[in-house]
Amino acid sequence: MQTKPIALTILDVVSIIVLGISTYLALVFAPTEAVMGDVQRVFYFHIGTAWVGLLGFVIAAVAGIAYLITKDMRWDRFEVAAVEVSTVFFFITIVLGSIWARPAWNTWWTWDPRLTTAAVTELIYIAYFMLRQGLEDPEKRARFGAVYTLLGGLSAPITFMVIRLFRTIHPVVIGNASAEAQGGFSMTTDMRTAFFFALFAFTVVFIDMIWHRLRLGALEEKVEQLKLNVSL
Amino acid sequence: MVHSKSNFMIETKKLVKRFGLKIVLRGVDFSVQPGEFVALLGPNGAGKTTFLRILASLSRPSLGEVTVANHKLPDEAAKVRAKLGVVSHLPLLYPDLTAEENLLFYARMYGIEEQENRITEVLDMVGLEHRRKDLVSTFSRGMQQRLAIGRAVVHDPEVMLFDEPYTGLDQDASEMLDDVLRSVAAKGRTVVMTSHDLARAEDLATRFDILSRGVIVASAKQEELKKTNLLAFYKGAIES
Amino acid sequence: MKNPTPSFFKAMMAIVRKDLAAEFRSRELLSAMLVFSLLVILIFNFALELDVKVRESVTAGVLWTTFAFAGTLGLNRSMAVEKDRGCMDGLLLAPVDRSAIYFGKAISNLAFMLIVEIIVLPVYSMLYNINLFQPGLLLVILLGSIGYIAVGTLLAAMSVQTRTRDVMLPILLFPVAIPVLLASVKASSGYLNGADFAEILAPLNLLIVYDLIFIAVPLMFFEHVVEE
């Protein structure tokens, strides 16, 4: 049995600490936003999770290409890890976004380009897992998975651009949203501190989780190997 | 071949094939001389089909070297494919096309120039000239299998691979297939055939190799088998 | 008599001719796609209550939904035919470039989809008294179909190899094909409502970008999907 690397344990502790600090910064330290009130505090984690979700998506596509070139299964494990972690973070992003949208826009959901693209990306992830589940040969699973993440990675930005075109005929209540997305609502220095720290904290948590998932993948393979040895 | 690198038409060295963690072929050393007809025998799950698919360039080896018709696989797959005819237990034919249209399609895929003449020759050889304009969906299993052989020889390949060609055929159809296989082999082609029908293999092949649990466990030429019979040889090899 | 390997173009055309010949004999695929399209339009007619006012704004959406569903049906079938009798192996055994196989299949799939569209358009025009035969709209339909089929052919080659192959294709295809469908809807409704060309240009550009990307990707990666 491989013991857990010390570095990983350290990273676990660091993750918890930075997440704690980030929570403090978001909920206590940052001033209450004048117009929206306390619910605006959700925004820090919303951006943090969205950032790592996106990061994971890009990493997965790059790992996919790397796999197709090298055929090294470690890239496949990396890709799966990135997609899995990213799926969860994107889901949190959407939920937090909804919580914020309810009082801010007076609706749980709006077909804004960012929201829609996030939802479509989530669907691509789900399709990705279904595809992998339907394949038995691990090598084929890796190849198809890599091609599919690549297709998803290429189509997601176009989805975003296309949906932006629809806003002209579907006017929606996102006036303050687009202002906000461009950094429009004037952040105070303290807000900015909380904001950047949240990005940092979630990046650390993301790396920690990817590491765990990679380790889990390696252990999974070892178990498979042992099972196979027993059956022979 | 002007600059032939080896005397063998097919050669594998330490060939390993894995599907994930499952190892199907564990170091197969196998070589076939030009003109030999090798029957590859073995129980189900021994890796015969996998092995043949690798020789056919349809599957990549995990480790080891594979050379077919003096070209390395998988790097020179296109060159190998041009010299290779493959028949499997699936016919690889389109039921909504006639016999002629099926052959015409494959003739085009192999870049054959005088397609009409070649198709007539092939249909004569497999005894289906009278069904030339009929849809393949109206053919019996045996006729489909004969046409499948016609499809596989349409580009006059040097090497032929047969994967369980007798599967699903009745006695008459099997006998007709025997004749076709003999005429294919008679042209000096190199043939590898997998089968678990020992009697059929005994009639046709000039050499018998036995694949068991992913390795070749025994090999014997036809003349060496005169004293013992094939069944005894086979059983002895599997059990050892 | 050593045969030269066929050129890329000849191999591709051999596949297209084979597919069209088989289809014009059995008409399995086209009839299924057509009947299905008409049924979808019928359902939309009542589900959306397509009166004159509603029609103007939703025609483009109804048409593209219909094309997308019918297209999936065709893609699935056309790849399943190759898989079922081992014919895919037959294609792969030929000494031709794997991308020639991809383009052959994609062109015949595109031909089937365009045939269905050419029949559905006049029927829709007649039923709802809308002139759909505008050069601009036809261009959008061509571009949209190319993008949809380009990515669909690649994904169908993947989905037929899965255990759940009957349901897999739409699940894989729709999220990735959203840009092409939405851009097509946007551009089509632009033409139908007589919008300025400047407004149509943006979705048209995105369609062209999508088409180019999703023709290039299968060109590079198709062999990873069909070979073992």
Strand-strand pairing, B22-32 and B84-87: unpaired
pLDDT of residue B105: 94
Q: What is the mean pLDDT of chain B?
A: 86
Measured CA to CA, the distance from residue B194 to residue B197 in angstroms comes to: 9
Query: Could you say which of A140, A144, A155 has the minimum Cβ distance to residue C176?
Result: A155
pLDDT for A214 beyond 70: yes
Cβ pair C210:A158 closer than 8 A:
yes
Measured CA to CA, the distance from residue A60 to residue A58 in angstroms comes to: 5
pLDDT-above-70 percentage for chain C: 98
Nearest CA to CA, how far is A133 from chain B (Å)?
15
Nearest CA to CA, how far is C35 from chain A (Å)?
28
Contact C55, C7 (CB under 8 A): no
Where is pLDDT greater, at A2 or A219?
A: A219
Q: Please, what sign has the CA dihedral across residues B112, B118, B122, B123?
A: positive
Nearest CA to CA, how far is B145 from chain C (Å)?
12
| B63 close contact with A: CB closer than 8 A | no
| A223 close contact with B: CB closer than 8 A | no
Contact A225, B21 (CB under 8 A): yes
pLDDT for B5 beyond 70: no
For residue C97, list chain B residues with Cβ-Cβ distance below 8 A. Answer: 78
For residue C225, list chain A residues with Cβ-Cβ distance below 8 A. Answer: 143-144, 147
Give me the sheet containing B215-221, strands edge to edge. Answer: B84-87, B159-163, B190-195, B37-41, B207-212, B215-221
Lowest mean pLDDT among A90-99, A110-119, A155-164, C73-82: A110-119
pLDDT of residue B6: 66
Return the partners of chain A (3 or more C-beta pairs < 8 Å): B, C
- For residue B103, the one-letter residue type is L
pLDDT-above-70 percentage for chain A: 88
Q: b or e along B154-179 (b: 16 or more beta carbons within 10 Å of the residue's beta carbon)?
A: bbbbbbbbbbbbbeebeeebbebbee
Specify the CATH number of the domain B1-80+192-240.
3.40.50.300
ipTM: 0.91
- For residue A59, the one-letter residue type is I
Band (pLDDT 50/70/90 cuts) for residue A130 is: very high
Nearest CA to CA, how far is A216 from chain B (Å)?
17
Token representation of residue B144? 């489909």
pLDDT of residue A178: 44
Average pLDDT over residues C19-35: 92
Cβ pair A139:B22 closer than 8 A:
no
Across the A:B interface, residue pairs with CB atoms under 8 Å apart total 13
Cβ pair B21:A221 closer than 8 A:
yes
Sequential DSSP letters for B144-202: HHHHHHHHHTTT--SEEEEESTTTT--HHHHHHHHHHHHHHHHTT-EEEEEES-HHHHH
Nearest CA to CA, how far is B110 from chain C (Å)?
6
Q: What is the mean pLDDT of chain C?
A: 90
| A154 close contact with C: CB closer than 8 A | yes
**Hey, where are the domains in chain B?**
1-80+192-240
For residue A221, list chain B residues with Cβ-Cβ distance below 8 A. Answer: 21
pLDDT for A65 beyond 60: yes
What is the chain C residue with the closest CA to A132? Answer: C162
Q: Which of B22, B54, B60 to mutate: most A Cβ within 10 Å? A: B22
Collect all residues with Cβ–Cβ distance below 8 Å to C193 and sequence separation of at least 6.
C56, C57
Q: What is the DSSP letter of A33?
A: B
pLDDT-above-90 percentage for chain C: 62
For residue A134, list chain C residues with Cβ-Cβ distance below 8 A. Answer: 162-165, 168
pLDDT of residue C3: 60
| C164 close contact with A: CB closer than 8 A | yes
Q: What is the mean pLDDT of chain A?
A: 83
Most confident of A32-46, A156-170, B131-145, B217-231: B131-145
Number of Cβ atoms within 10 Å of the Cβ of A110: 18
Lowest mean pLDDT among A34-38, A227-231, B160-164: A34-38
Band (pLDDT 50/70/90 cuts) for residue B221 is: confident
3-state secondary structure C92-108: HHCCCCHHHHHHHHHHH
Map residue A68 onto helix, strand or coil: helix
Average pLDDT over residues B77-97: 90
pLDDT for A171 beyond 60: no
Number of Cβ atoms within 10 Å of the Cβ of A163: 23
Contact C24, C115 (CB under 8 A): no
Where is pLDDT greater, at A183 or C180?
A: C180
Average pLDDT over residues A214-224: 87
What is the chain C residue with the closest CA to B112? Answer: C3
pLDDT for A1 beyond 60: no
pLDDT of residue B2: 44
Lowest mean pLDDT among A85-99, A104-118, B86-100: A104-118
Cβ pair C18:B97 closer than 8 A:
yes
Nearest CA to CA, how far is C73 from chain B (Å)?
19
Element (H, E) at A107: none
pLDDT of residue C113: 95
For residue A137, list chain B residues with Cβ-Cβ distance below 8 A. Answer: 19-20
Burial zone of B232 (CB within 10 Å; 0-12 exposed, 13-18 middle, 19+ buried): exposed
pLDDT digits over B20-47, tens only?
778 899 889 999 988 889 999 888 888 8
Map residue B69 onto helix, strand or coil: coil
Band (pLDDT 50/70/90 cuts) for residue A11 is: confident
